[in-house]
Structures are given as structure tokens and as C-alpha cells.
Amino acid sequence: MKINREEVEYVAHLARLALEPEEAEKFTGQLDQILQYFEKLAELDTSEVEPTRHAIAIVNAFREDEVKPSYDSGTALANAPARHGSFFRVPKIIE
């Protein structure tokens, strides 16, 4: 067995979890099975396997920045429900 009940209770204490005795026993068995599975995985020869960051190829979806003319303030504020001079007026949200 790779992990014992005391270690499970210690980790539960660090995580601020209150475990009942039967829960601690159950988790000890489950965590031991997980650790045994990782031991099996560690036995595999992965020297020929290329490291990956993602399971699928990810392509950057960003576009290049382009300088374009902006709207003048009159056009930008044409449909504003409320305005103050050349600014949008918005409801106050901070007291």
C-alpha cells in the first residue's frame, strides 16, 4: 500500500476537511489505487513520445493590429441615450 490512513487524515487536515472514520478508510483505498495506477504509467517507455501542451493543435486566432480611422465624437454619440458634452453619460454605480 502506497498511502496509509494517517497520511489521508493529515492531508484532510491540511485541506480543512472533517472526515468520518469510514470516509478516511474509503479514501485511503481509493488514493492507493490511484497511486498504483501512476506507478504503472511510470513504467511506460515514453522516450520516443514528443511532449505536448494540448491534445489538439491550437492556432493563434489573433489578427495583426491595423491603424484605422476612428469615429468622430458626434457620430459615436449619435445614438447615446444620455450624453454630457462630448462624453457618454452613464448611471453612477459606486457610492
Q: How far apart are CA 28 and CA 21, in angstroms?
A: 11
- pLDDT tens per residue across span 8-66: 999 999 999 999 999 999 999 999 999 999 999 889 998 888 888 777 877 887 888 89
pLDDT in the model for residue 1:
66
87 by DSSP, 3-state: which?
A: strand
Take residue 38 and report the three cell numbers written for it.
501512476
Going by the DSSP 8-state scheme, the letter that residue 16 receives in this structure is T
85 residue type, one letter? G
15 residue type, one letter? A
79 residue type, one letter? N
User: Which structural domains are found in the chain, ordered by start?
Assistant: 1-64 (1.10.20.60)
Cβ-contact 72, 78 below 8 angstroms: no
pTM for this prediction: 0.49
Q: How far apart are CA 63 and CA 3, in angstroms?
A: 51
